Amino acid sequence: MFSTDIDYLCRAGISPAPSSMQPFRRDIRTGHIVLAGCLLTLLYALFSRGVYHPDEHFQILEYARMRLFGTSPEELPWEYGLMMRPGFQPFIAYLAGWSLRAVGLYSSWTLAALLRLLSGALSVTAVLFLYREIRREPHREAEAGRVLALSLLLWFMAYTHVRFSSETLSGNLLLLTVVCCMRFRRTGNDSFGSGVLVGLLAGAAFVVRYQTGFALLGLGLWLMVFDRRIRHIAGILAGGTVMLGVGTLCDRWLYGRWTCAPVNYFRENIVHAHAAGFGVDPWWYYLTAVPLEGIVLFGLPVLLAAGWFVYKNPRHIVVWTIVPFLVAHQAVGHKEVRFLFPLLPFVPLFLAQAFGSLPLRWRRSRSAAVLLGTAVLLNIGIVLYNLTVSNTDIYFQRMADRFCRHRERVVVLSLRSEKTYYAYPEDVIGPRTVTARFHMPDAFDYRSFDSEEELGREAERLCRECTDVFLLTERPQPALPETVRPDRIAWSPYPRWVTTHFNFNDWAGLSIRSKNIFRLSPTGAFTSREE
């Protein structure tokens, strides 16, 4: 309606000519996209709790909690003892947590939300920098608008934007590095200072996630082949060196002694092949996993668009950056789709350029309209699902937090050999139990045991002394002494109308079927209580 009113005023001679209004209209549309994208990012930061992968939790949040409260590192994953993970992100999380404690606002949930907000803000900033750089090139305004809309409104982009993970942060830093290189080359800025800025961004991308080094190697080759400006390259080397020093200081803070974490990472995962212990995948893994994990209607176009972009732009800085990264990850035996997430910020560019390359009659065909309409509706549905349904573990931990809020002590038992909502067994360099204490309530007295007999004796003793005793187990019927009565607590992270009317083949129970919760009480003395 607003644009229609403008057309009327233009025809009436009240405002400038229609041609002069085109930039204004474009700015209005851009403003709407940015506003919608910022709102969606904010909603994801506030309501998309939990993590995409446990590494996002155990290699950042648990490290930060350990330094915040001075707890023992014995229950941390195997990587900590080998000093092979970067301390840069845990230090950021530590600073955020320390700030919240200083003003009396600390809680694990508040800290996690704050980190998601920071990640989302950086993601939106990186997207806007990319949009402005593309828009400044001749005849690319439409492509820039598509990149902006896809970057901010696609479900998997919005979801990953707020993840405080090494993949997301390194991807944003890598995107900013590439955009700065593009901008400085376009403007002819070859100063030492501009190179330092690029080097700082590139170095930060590396110290956040060491695998990004393959992408930075390709970027460096592109600079030497197509952009040989000595002062600029010298500045890049200087800035990168500074960030490597910052990363080393963060590692010293995390591990309590001087070490070279990138070398440790290479030695343990590549030389000692610990990464292969998590599984070895065939060379074609990513060709099938990307379309399946990204849902075929989204994942397959991403794969095809990326291939098209590489084919059409062999000299482009983005191509030289991503190809070495992809080749390196293709060569490694253990593969996961999340390993490619540092390249996600470039995906909207691939999709926008591929769409613009299609013949006009294809883009305006009925089939294209049906596909696009279906994709839009599916995108909206996935966004709503992500915002309303919590990760199962996070849902349980929030439930436990509410339950413990007004209690002095709640004793929770488990076997070390079983995976629960707070712990899982690990056997990479030796058997151990990794425990997630970041979201564990203060009143939560968590105890794990090596054998059923030991757990049973403790359960029997506690049931005589305590009111709130619970068991977390993989077994549907735990083996306990006859004097202990287990009563299973039934719950679901899904709304009742979903589990009642749409739970076909009990799909809603898949995530909790092997993680059972029992309230323990003396035989014959159990009194039903509302959870």
Average pLDDT over residues 417-440: 89
Q: Mean pLDDT: which of 104-113, 415-424, 517-526 is highest?
A: 104-113
Angle at 332 between CA 328 and CA 334, to 5 degrees: 135
- Is 10's pLDDT higher than 50? no
Average pLDDT over residues 185-212: 95
Average pLDDT over residues 332-344: 94
**Residue 510 exposed, middle or buried by CB count within 10 Å (0-12, 13-18, 19+):** exposed
pLDDT of res. 524: 60
| Per-residue pLDDT reduced to its tens digit, 480-528 | 998 999 999 988 888 787 777 778 878 878 778 888 899 999 886 444 4
pLDDT of res. 25: 56
**Look-up: residue for tokens 């929030």?**
398
- Is 12's pLDDT higher than 50? no
Under 8 Å between Cβ of 165 and 54: no
> For residues 88 and 419, what is the distance between their CA atoms, to the nearest angstrom?
29
- Is 14's pLDDT higher than 60? no
| Per-residue pLDDT reduced to its tens digit, 342-387 | 999 999 999 999 999 988 888 888 988 999 999 999 999 999 989 9
pLDDT of res. 362: 87
Average pLDDT over residues 278-283: 88
pLDDT of res. 7: 43
Q: What is the DSSP letter of 85?
A: S
Query: Average pLDDT, whole number, for the chain?
Result: 89
- Is 11's pLDDT higher than 60? no
- Is 23's pLDDT higher than 70? no
pLDDT of res. 27: 65
pLDDT of res. 263: 95
- Is 466's pLDDT higher than 80? no
Model confidence at 295, pLDDT cuts 50, 70, 90, reads confident
> Which residue, 129, 141, 120, 145, is CA-closest to 181?
129
Average pLDDT over residues 226-237: 92
What pairing do the DSSP bridges indicate for beta strands 469-473 and 410-415? parallel
Q: Which residues contact 271 (CB under 8 A, 6 or more apart)?
A: none
pTM score > 0.95 for this model?
no
Q: Which residue has the higher pLDDT, 111 or 54?
A: 111
pLDDT of res. 177: 97
Percent of the chain with pLDDT over 90: 66
pLDDT of res. 504: 81
- Is 49's pLDDT higher than 90? no
- Is 224's pLDDT higher than 50? yes
pLDDT of res. 127: 97
pLDDT of res. 414: 94
Under 8 Å between Cβ of 326 and 307: no
> For residues 322 and 94, what is the distance between their CA atoms, to the nearest angstrom?
32
> For residues 198 and 337, what is the distance between their CA atoms, to the nearest angstrom?
28
- Is 449's pLDDT higher than 60? yes
